[in-house]
Amino acid sequence: MAKLTQEMKDMISTQQCFVATVNRDGTPNIGPKRSTRVLDDEHLAYTEVTGKQTWGNVDQGSKVAIACADREKLKGFRFVGTPEVIKAGQVYDDAVAMLQKLGMPSPKAVIKVKIDKIYNLGIPGAGEEIA
């Protein structure tokens, strides 16, 4: 079972995360998700506001990979997981409140990602599976 460490949680809260999915034709897609955050030791989440390619891929069943790195420290992590689309409930309501404070529209959904595997993106050990 893959679990986030405090170092990973801190990095996610302070660095830009990018979400990768797979298009229907098998080509990769990647996009920044500023809203990426830790829900608990085994889940990440991001709000889907734009509803474009990443959203479409998740809606079509794509798994996701979320990468986060600190260039100055040469450290980073890739979290591979299974997304769940959430359109109601506490997680969604919290996302709506967060976006309202920023003057942004309500999200189409919150994507909750169950972390299946974690890989090192840092030096040394880049590419090695951590959990």
- Residue pLDDT, tens place only, 47-96: 998 878 999 999 999 999 999 999 999 999 999 999 999 999 999 999 88
Q: What is the mean pLDDT of residues 97-102?
A: 87
Q: What is the mean pLDDT of residues 33-58?
A: 92
Q: Tokens for 45, please give them.
A: 């989440």
Contact assessment for residue 83 and residue 112, using Cβ atoms and an 8 Å cutoff: yes
What is the predicted pLDDT for the residue at 82? 96
Percent of the chain with pLDDT over 90: 84
DSSP state of 9: H
Question: What CATH superfamily classification does 6-120 receive?
Answer: Electron Transport, Fmn-binding Protein; Chain A (2.30.110.10)
Percent of the chain with pLDDT over 70: 100
CA nearest to 82, candidates 55, 114, 59, 57? 114
- Is 59 in a helix, a strand, or coil? helix
Could you tell me the residue ranges of all domains in the chain?
6-120
